[in-house]
Structure 1
């Protein structure tokens, strides 16, 4: 890390005086909403939309805590979304609604559709099982845990409500802490904020920050809160050449161009609970370049390009992509892919994308007319990239508008690539389900005999309730792929479809983990335990207090409480057995 002692510290006072901070009525001096319920099991906190920020009047939203609290009105932001006209290639921009509040315990939600009667409604992700009660132009439902949902009435995909019901932030920082840059409720404009090592940027609920917030060559730094970054150009919050970074809880919306964030040449990065809405050009959500040990969890993204994309070399970024975990997210791509892996790389010095996990994800929609760029989950290595050791598990795909369930292609597109990808190896897809009728034929395409796809196993892959397996009942002259439908060309080898009870291997997993790792006491930490050989669960004994492993994905996350040296025994298991190894973890 570079020496940053020559840079002036950005204090809270400096930040707030650099631009304007529009006052918002209804807040206490601390930045807490005056309308917050008293402390208790059931609480609701509501934040007015600041003056000057466009609102949408298609929906009126009210909430109350615990079925007995008083009803409070939730402000509704206007956001813009985009589709591509398949006939002309032109952009079609649509107006839509976003409302956000925080709660704990139980909350009743009442939504009025101001344009008329609600004939039918659904709340997505459908896997949440939230069934609203309808009454004329109103619908009601109850939440018992934080959820980010789309409330869709009368089949309107754009004139819908994105409702962000967040957890209450019980640990907001002190605004007067010298290591905190604090944005209170209101509108904040001015120069971009460059976060320093050890610093926290906090955007409180009801705060709208029209400024980029960037991490450049820093460590142990945080951006969090319940407010939003709004209407900024070219990457709302880029993370470059940094480590031990946390972005948590914020919303990013209405960028005219560019994505929510690049994570580039960085390591140990956690992005948790991010909400994102875009209609701009190159409106990706999160793009990961040449980085390792990245955890993206609990994100809700509706984007005008890829929601999440993993690349190696591009621009001035160089290096492999390794140990990436995407879990507990809800993704909606109005353009391109919900998840895309491998398109860009370095032909002159080939790179690898490996140890990638997609787990417990809901894919709500996908609309892409170009067949080469379809795929709710797409593995598309070009530029001599090699994609290997990918696990997709417990993923639910709803009936998207236009595209493919999954797409794997060793690619060479002269428009984007300078060489063909090297290949795709070792992909394990477990408990993937699709319910719908509009999916096109999924494609698995090796480029040639030297640039192919090898070792792809689907286990318990369900299409409209039917498990696709090599031993399923079907006409004898059909291929298993015909039942999806899917086309796998002659350059795809060792492709299998198994039932849930069929073990994919008779051997224990082969652990892929470093012999030594390090972090910083109190700093956001991501360390990944991966494995070949169809792992089903992971464990770690001896982790320091503050760190925990996710048994489903193998990702270790949190913040270690105390410095020290720890011998951590990590393991990976499947039905055939368990493998383990000791990792020397140093927390400084």
Structure 2
């Protein structure tokens, strides 16, 4: 099935498919591929179609080592900042450019506004030291990376450069179950994706339509194109199962978020990039869903980057088995990561088995104290938040807010009751470097609605590890060394160093005993466990499925069959096994 009048002819499609994924991805309107490639590295660039706003603050060139320089066009993306005196929002123009690469890539960026006095490539954890020559900045990426080039301290007039992986999963464009959009601008009403269908946005495609997954199974949205300028959510996913969104960029939406995942299961959002300036400009909101994986994302949002909620509006149910990994978050307003605000006082719900792993938080700016926190766990409406694992999270010096905001809340603007509590939070290798953060908080609501069993392991503040082994005045609390404000309704709070075992017991697996998907469709299964798991393993996985040993997430697609798989969770004390039946129909 095709929905695009500019789809290449059948003979052109055959040529593109035979040439391989990189050529399809890098196809130009002129018919010549924009891919420069050799045996070790490949590069694909895409033109911006006519009628889409560009930004000329930066001139960008990329090349594989020893190759020819390729120009990369920069889109104009709009960003937001709140005025704390008026509450009004001011919008800024910024630059975003993307290309695909495998292997190393050299980057040359010329700032057209002024000479470059200083330059940073962020996240700073990548350790990229750019070379500056008058108005030009040069550096090398060792592979696909999402980076921000910040010159002369400008955080709005900066360049967001998205180096994405070369595509390896380009669908057969002649398949009747593929909706193909080639390079160019595509208008129309909402696009409802059918069960078993794939929507493919080629590089250089700009789709000014929502892509809607509603009451469907085994469906996908793939490609390197953009969803641009739509109202009230670009990719709603409701009452659906086995959904994959991979590689697309979303920008310039006047209102609404990138994606709402609601009453759905087995949803993977991969390599999604998002820029917002509008009202309620969240990145990804998850309501009443289970088995959600967000990975490789770059989200710069005008509200929460990622928010996990239970009941709100027409959505009901618990939230469980949510993993966010290998991503970069920048909140110009509100929280980079927020859990628990909305729920169901009449029939309380649970948000559990939540993992935030290997994430860089670049910024956080929120004037309102109630909405601060780079990492915010703030259950209201009878919600119980439990079994949360936060590991290898690096927070750069943000503009305004708190590192941690952990509070059992009764926010009268949004709640009808206080949350039930927060239980079992393990925060390992969290680091903050900067001097702008205000005092983080941990507040239980009262004795019956408190916070219990929170362990920080190897918490680093400006290079100082906060642990009970550190030197301090004996009359000081450990929280004074952060410093952190903790009230009397917080129990079993610990700060330990990297060498101290957080538990004396082996993990306990809480994962489901069965998971189901269609043959060839995206499958997602999480080996959730309590008790401080440090690694995961699996025996008997069918071909096409892989397990991430750090997070316990199984992903991929497999052939039909029923597979008995033994999964395990381990820590320094021991290993626990669990059998799961993977049914591929």
Shorter chain as denominator, the TM-score bin is over 0.9
Residue 266 of structure 1: aligned partner = 264
Equivalent residue for 1:198, pick from 196, 199, 205: 196
Checking the alignment, whether the CA contact within 8 Å between 1:33 and 1:45 is kept in structure 2 is no
Q: CA RMSD in A?
A: 1.5
The whole-number CA distance in structure 2 between the counterparts of 1:484 and 1:33 is 57
Equivalent residue for 2:273, pick from 275, 285, 308: 275
The whole-number CA distance in structure 2 between the counterparts of 1:503 and 1:435 is 25
Residues 47, 29 of structure 1: CA spacing in aligned structure 2 closer, same or farther, 3 A cutoff?
A: closer
Alignment: residue pair count = 568
Checking the alignment, whether the CA contact within 8 Å between 2:28 and 2:46 is kept in structure 1 is no
Q: Which runs of 4+ in 1 moved over 6 A?
A: 29-32
Structure 2, unaligned runs of 5 or more:
8-24
Residue 52 of structure 1: aligned partner = 51
The whole-number CA distance in structure 2 between the counterparts of 1:47 and 1:563 is 37
Checking the alignment, whether the CA contact within 8 Å between 2:331 and 2:365 is kept in structure 1 is yes
Matched, 1:569 2:556: no
Residue 22 of structure 1: aligned partner = none
Checking the alignment, whether the CA contact within 8 Å between 1:511 and 1:572 is kept in structure 2 is yes
1:306-385 mapped onto 2 (5 Å cutoff): 306-385=304-383
The whole-number CA distance in structure 2 between the counterparts of 1:467 and 1:355 is 27
The whole-number CA distance in structure 1 between the counterparts of 2:570 and 2:238 is 35
Equivalent residue for 2:498, pick from 497, 500, 503: 500
How far 1:31 sits from its partner (Å)? 8.8
The whole-number CA distance in structure 2 between the counterparts of 1:224 and 1:217 is 19
How far 1:32 sits from its partner (Å)? 6.9
Residue 18 of structure 2: aligned partner = none
How far 1:471 sits from its partner (Å)? 2.6
- 1:159-213 CA-to-partner distances (Å, cap 9, x unmatched) read 0000011112133223221110001000100111100111100001101100000
The whole-number CA distance in structure 1 between the counterparts of 2:6 and 2:239 is 29
How far 1:530 sits from its partner (Å)? 1.1
How far 1:567 sits from its partner (Å)? 1.3
The whole-number CA distance in structure 1 between the counterparts of 2:5 and 2:397 is 45
The whole-number CA distance in structure 2 between the counterparts of 1:417 and 1:15 is 45
Residue 485 of structure 1: aligned partner = 483
Matched, 1:444 2:433: no
Residue 23 of structure 1: aligned partner = none
Residues 258, 29 of structure 1: CA spacing in aligned structure 2 closer, same or farther, 3 A cutoff?
A: closer
Residues 499, 50 of structure 1: CA spacing in aligned structure 2 closer, same or farther, 3 A cutoff?
A: same
Matched, 1:231 2:229: yes
Residue 63 of structure 2: aligned partner = 64
- 1:434-462 CA-to-partner distances (Å, cap 9, x unmatched) read 11111110000000000000000001111
Task: Give the 3-state SS of the residue equivalent to 2:97 in structure 1.
Answer: strand
How far 1:352 sits from its partner (Å)? 0.4
Checking the alignment, whether the CA contact within 8 Å between 2:384 and 2:422 is kept in structure 1 is yes
The whole-number CA distance in structure 2 between the counterparts of 1:516 and 1:121 is 51
How far 1:364 sits from its partner (Å)? 0.5
Checking the alignment, whether the CA contact within 8 Å between 2:81 and 2:89 is kept in structure 1 is yes
Checking the alignment, whether the CA contact within 8 Å between 1:31 and 1:185 is kept in structure 2 is no
The whole-number CA distance in structure 1 between the counterparts of 2:32 and 2:188 is 25
The whole-number CA distance in structure 1 between the counterparts of 2:176 and 2:338 is 40
1:283-294 mapped onto 2 (5 Å cutoff): 283-294=281-292
The whole-number CA distance in structure 2 between the counterparts of 1:165 and 1:52 is 24
How far 1:17 sits from its partner (Å)? 8.2
The whole-number CA distance in structure 1 between the counterparts of 2:358 and 2:37 is 34
Please report the TM-score for the alignment, with normalisation by the length of structure 1: 0.95
- 1:413-444 CA-to-partner distances (Å, cap 9, x unmatched) read 11110111000000000111111111110000
How far 1:517 sits from its partner (Å)? 2.2
Checking the alignment, whether the CA contact within 8 Å between 1:252 and 1:275 is kept in structure 2 is yes
How far 1:495 sits from its partner (Å)? 0.3
The whole-number CA distance in structure 2 between the counterparts of 1:170 and 1:551 is 23
- 1:529-571 CA-to-partner distances (Å, cap 9, x unmatched) read 11111111111111111111111111111112x1112111111
Checking the alignment, whether the CA contact within 8 Å between 1:33 and 1:46 is kept in structure 2 is no
Structure 1, unaligned runs of 5 or more:
1-10, 19-25
How far 1:35 sits from its partner (Å)? 2.6
Residue 7 of structure 1: aligned partner = none
The whole-number CA distance in structure 2 between the counterparts of 1:542 and 1:415 is 50
Equivalent residue for 1:579, pick from 570, 576, 582: 576
Task: Give the 3-state SS of the residue equivalent to 2:430 in structure 1.
Answer: strand
The whole-number CA distance in structure 1 between the counterparts of 2:43 and 2:88 is 42
The whole-number CA distance in structure 2 between the counterparts of 1:344 and 1:27 is 43
